[in-house]
Amino acid sequence: MRTQGFGGSFEKVGHTLKILLQRRADYNQKDIDSAVNTIFERFGGVERFIKRGASVLLKVNLVSGHVPSARVTTDPAVVRAVACAVLKAGGRPVIADSPGIDSFSRAARVSGIASVAEELNIPCEELTDSLRVSCDGGARYIELSRRAVESDVIINLPKMKTHAQMLLTMSVKNMFGCVVGQKKAEWHYNMGLRRDPFAELLLDIWLATRPALTIMDGVVGMDGQGPTHGKPFSYGLVAGAEDALTMDLHLCKMMGARLDDYPLWRAAVSKNLPQTNLSDDDIAGDFLPSHRWNADIPKLDSLSLVPFSSNALAKALTSRPVHKSSRCIGVQKCGKCVALCAAKAIHFERNHKQDKKLQFDYDKCIRCYCCHEMCPAGAIDFKEGLMMKAGKAISRIRKVWGNWD
């Protein structure tokens, strides 16, 4: 695990606070409580968000069942601090998410989040029932969790991580969990190969659910091949913002990624969203806007930069999933990859003696990398496509000749 240094505490007088960055080195409960309470106070007090008796959805990241030290899911200390603040204000918190394929009860138990719910005697529930919601001015409809849509307030509790398909998975993407269960894989399939339409979908979901406040768990997040198979990375951060998109875009830069490489940024630019007018004055707290964590950011196949429409060519250029059979638990015992692949692009050889021989149909595969994300054993890797190789070569040239941006 790598740790980066911190900047000094600062605040620009006379500007509306958009993001508050709180330095926290570990998950000591008292320190996390104080970070969360400070965020509420600085955004006008918890009562501004939580009216007495209000139903409050705490949208955690419970993508799949991982222990807290894996740094995949929202840390229970952060969930506990926020739930306590909501209870104190007279709200009715419900901790909720919809894992892609894992059992919710298992994911909640393993992550330590179920214990928080038991201790505080509050519900911890899977998002199940869906509701059809109009998005993008009626341009499309998305089925979202009824509980998420009908809650009085949503508090978004994402984990600060990199993402092999979407570069980063932060606040806006955390709301994708309001798409119920396997429907997530269907949306990946509907969006196909390109990242930008998927990022536009993420924006639509965020705008439709519009959490009142986002509190980011970045004390120890992840870099590398996130969101489930990266490395723990100590950002030392608890961040709060009313506008999740503004937070994500600023943190993208601070993590050391290029905004142009971030599909969410490109989607926000194409939608002409005001959040793309980033200013250092948006940020206050314990890190300067110029702070850089220099996390290991995944390289994406930047298909959006190439003006072609042929899916066959796109697939040839894009990295593809490959099976590491030595790590595989076996399809009979696990089989998550086969079950979740919406493209039906994964098969296994039934007669293979070890039950660990997966076959990919790369013509059907849409390179969503959900199989990589959900494999509990890290048994699905990538074979770099030509686009990725070219991107790496350009990065090397940039390093030699200096940054051309």
Rounded to the nearest whole angstrom, what is the least distance from the CB of residue 109 to ligand SF4 in the complex? 20
- Distances in whole angstroms, Cα of residue 332 to Cα of each of 223, 338, 352: 31, 11, 12
Closer to ligand SF4 by CB, 100 or 158: give it: 100
Distance, in Å, from the CA atom of 19 to the CA atom of 242, rounded to the nearest integer, reads 8
Distance, in Å, from the CA atom of 9 to the CA atom of 7, rounded to the nearest integer, reads 7
Contacting residues toward ligand SF4, per CB under 6 A: 321, 323, 328-329, 331, 334-337, 341, 343, 345-346, 358, 360, 365-371, 375-377, 379-380
Angle at 1 between CA 109 and CA 325, to 5 degrees: 65
Q: Which of 39, 18, 49, 42 is nearest to 275 (CA)?
A: 18
Strand partners, 124: 95
Closer to ligand SF4 by CB, 21 or 345: give it: 345
Render 291-357 in DSSP notation, one character per residue: ------PPP---GGGS----HHHHHHHS-EEEE-TTT---TTT--HHHHH-TT--EEE-TT-TTS--
Rounded to the nearest whole angstrom, what is the least distance from the CB of residue 371 to ligand SF4 in the complex? 3
Q: Answer yes or no: are the C-beta atoms of 19 and 284 closer than 8 Å.
A: yes
| Backbone phi and psi for residue 204, each to the nearest 5 degrees, phi listed first | -60, -40
Q: Which of 57, 316, 100, 263 is nearest to 187 (CA)?
A: 100
Q: Answer yes or no: are the C-beta atoms of 122 and 84 closer than 8 Å.
A: no
Rounded to the nearest whole angstrom, what is the least distance from the CB of residue 79 to ligand SF4 in the complex? 27
Q: Which runs of consecutive H residues, i.e. helices, occur in 54-112?
A: 76-88, 104-110
Closer to ligand SF4 by CB, 42 or 299: give it: 299
Rounded to the nearest whole angstrom, what is the least distance from the CB of residue 72 to ligand SF4 in the complex? 15
Rounded to the nearest whole angstrom, what is the least distance from the CB of residue 288 to ligand SF4 in the complex? 39
Closer to ligand SF4 by CB, 310 or 403: give it: 310
Closer to ligand SF4 by CB, 202 or 370: give it: 370
Contacts 24+ apart (CB under 8 A), 28-35: 28/77, 29/77, 29/80, 29/81, 32/75, 32/77, 32/78, 32/80, 32/81, 32/219, 32/238, 33/81, 33/84, 35/81, 35/238
Closer to ligand SF4 by CB, 57 or 343: give it: 343
Rounded to the nearest whole angstrom, what is the least distance from the CB of residue 311 to ligand SF4 in the complex? 13
Rounded to the nearest whole angstrom, what is the least distance from the CB of residue 354 to ligand SF4 in the complex? 11
Rounded to the nearest whole angstrom, what is the least distance from the CB of residue 263 to ligand SF4 in the complex? 16
Three-class DSSP category at 62 = coil
Closer to ligand SF4 by CB, 230 or 321: give it: 321
Q: How many residues can be counted in the chain?
A: 405
Closer to ligand SF4 by CB, 72 or 379: give it: 379
Closer to ligand SF4 by CB, 173 or 250: give it: 173
Rounded to the nearest whole angstrom, what is the least distance from the CB of residue 120 to ligand SF4 in the complex? 34
